[in-house]
Amino acid sequence: MLLDALYRAARPWIFRMDPERAHDLAFSLGERLCDWPGLDAPKLDPSLARTAFGLRFPSPLGLAAGLDKGARLLPLWKALGFGHVEIGTVTPRPQPGNPKPRLFRLPEEGLILNRMGFNSEGAEVVAERLRSRPDGLLVGGNLGKNKATPEEAALDDYRDAYRLIAPRVDYIALNISSPNTPGLRDLQAPEALKPLLAGMLALRKEMGLEAQPILLKLAPDLAPEDLDATVDAAAASGIDGLIATNTTLDRGIVSEANRARVERWGAGGLSGRGLHAKARDVRKRVLARLGGRLPLVACGGISTGAEATEALADGAALAQLYTALIFEGPGLVGRINKELAGA
């Protein structure tokens, strides 16, 4: 694939750039590519198709939330071979996110640290952009709350974002697991989670969108008993699925040689290769606890076809990745699809 060869050739140069500048540049180029008539989606092997929470996915592999927060490159993700893309996190009102620098990479370990803090154009702008979506790519809308909104009013924010985004996407993911919005992860506790989910399900009904799945995205850092309680509360609520996991606060996933360097970067969540074992432990615990009550989307450190295959064999309905795409390049999606089709 030409794009992959170009990415690989340019990678040393890209990795010398500030990560957020590289991201912005890639998005500018990506937007031009999306307008290019020659941008063609690959024909996906029919054996890749999966049904999950009532939706038919052309491939079980999806792009995790956070890369295309504003739904700017949907035709490109389709052309790479993703079966779905989770856009967002979208907050109801626009907000700039945390001050820069807020994105760091550790290529030798395939790790990224981010404390973006939900930089978002806001739900209105993103909803408008979603009017022109390519066919054949499923789109999830990942929703969050604005930083300035107090935790007690979180439900209002999720509802405001839902009203605008839900009519334009195939499923909704509620992000209560980013480590970069103070207090957000507290919403995972059952006493906070139950009214949040009930409020969202009531709104879904009000809007006549009962058929549209709502998923909940979990952190990998909950204590095992707390995780069980969260899973039980989610399963009892009437939502349709879980995503495990978001980034981790655990610096123990970094090799000792690089830990001091990562500590110096400061606050934020870690993703990528080193997260894989931890995210897998969490998803296995969640799957065991669920006992089939809800489907689960695996996410966290997946970077090879073997790991995606293993996630599905563990019992996940779908798999998502983000960080590996940055380090491995756009050809990774096709390579994983090929392995999944042969599995």
Compare residues 9 and 148 and give the one whose CB is closer to ligand FMN: 148
Least gap, CB of 246 to ligand FMN (angstroms): 4
Tokens for 222? 């909950």
Least gap, CB of 82 to ligand FMN (angstroms): 13
Confirm or reject binding of residue 275 to ligand FMN (CB under 6 A).
Answer: yes
Euclidean distance between CA atoms 222 and 214, whole angstroms: 21
For the question of residue 178 being annotated catalytic, the response is yes
Which residue in the block uniquely carries the two structure tokens 């007690």?
152
Nearest residue by C-beta to ligand FMN?
Answer: 66
Alpha-carbon dihedral sign for residues 237, 238, 242, 246 = negative
Q: Which residues within the stretch 297-316 sit at the binding site for ligand FMN (CB under 6 A)?
A: 299-302
Least gap, CB of 208 to ligand FMN (angstroms): 26
Part of the chain binding ligand FMN (CB under 6 A), chosen from 30-38, 50-58, 204-212, 269-277: 269-277
Residues contacting 324, CB < 8 A, separation 6+: 110, 272, 273, 301, 302, 303, 304, 332
237 closest CA partner among 206, 199, 208, 203:
199
Per the CB < 8 A criterion, the answer to whether 59 and 48 are in contact is yes
Euclidean distance between CA atoms 140 and 77, whole angstroms: 13
The active-site residue, picked from 178, 237, 271, 303, is: 178
The CA-based diameter of the chain, rounded to the nearest angstrom, is 54
Peptide bond into 245 cis (omega under 30): yes
Least gap, CB of 120 to ligand FMN (angstroms): 8
Q: Which residues within the stretch 50-79 sit at the binding site for ligand FMN (CB under 6 A)?
A: 64-66, 69
Compare residues 113 and 290 and give the one whose CB is closer to ligand FMN: 113
Which residue in the block uniquely carries the two structure tokens 């969640």?
286
Least gap, CB of 180 to ligand FMN (angstroms): 8
Confirm or reject binding of residue 116 to ligand FMN (CB under 6 A).
Answer: yes
Confirm or reject binding of residue 175 to ligand FMN (CB under 6 A).
Answer: yes
Part of the chain binding ligand FMN (CB under 6 A), chosen from 70-78, 127-135, 186-194, 317-325: 317-325
Least gap, CB of 50 to ligand FMN (angstroms): 19
Q: Which residues within the stretch 242-261 sit at the binding site for ligand FMN (CB under 6 A)?
A: 246-247
Part of the chain binding ligand FMN (CB under 6 A), chosen from 127-135, 200-208, 289-297, 318-326: 318-326
Per the CB < 8 A criterion, the answer to whether 202 and 228 are in contact is no
Euclidean distance between CA atoms 69 and 157, whole angstroms: 17
Euclidean distance between CA atoms 268 and 14, whole angstroms: 22
Confirm or reject binding of residue 166 to ligand FMN (CB under 6 A).
Answer: no
Which residue in the block uniquely carries the two structure tokens 């400061």?
266
Instruction: Report phi then psi at 214, rounded to 5.
Output: -115, 125
Confirm or reject binding of residue 114 to ligand FMN (CB under 6 A).
Answer: yes
Confirm or reject binding of residue 142 to ligand FMN (CB under 6 A).
Answer: yes
Confirm or reject binding of residue 161 to ligand FMN (CB under 6 A).
Answer: no
Confirm or reject binding of residue 274 to ligand FMN (CB under 6 A).
Answer: no
> CB count, 10 Å around CB of 53?
19
Tokens for 126? 């993103």
Binding residues (CB under 6 A) for ligand FMN: these are 64-66, 69, 88-89, 103, 112, 114, 116, 142, 175, 178, 217, 246-247, 271-272, 275, 299-302, 321-324
Task: Give catalytic residue positions.
Answer: 178
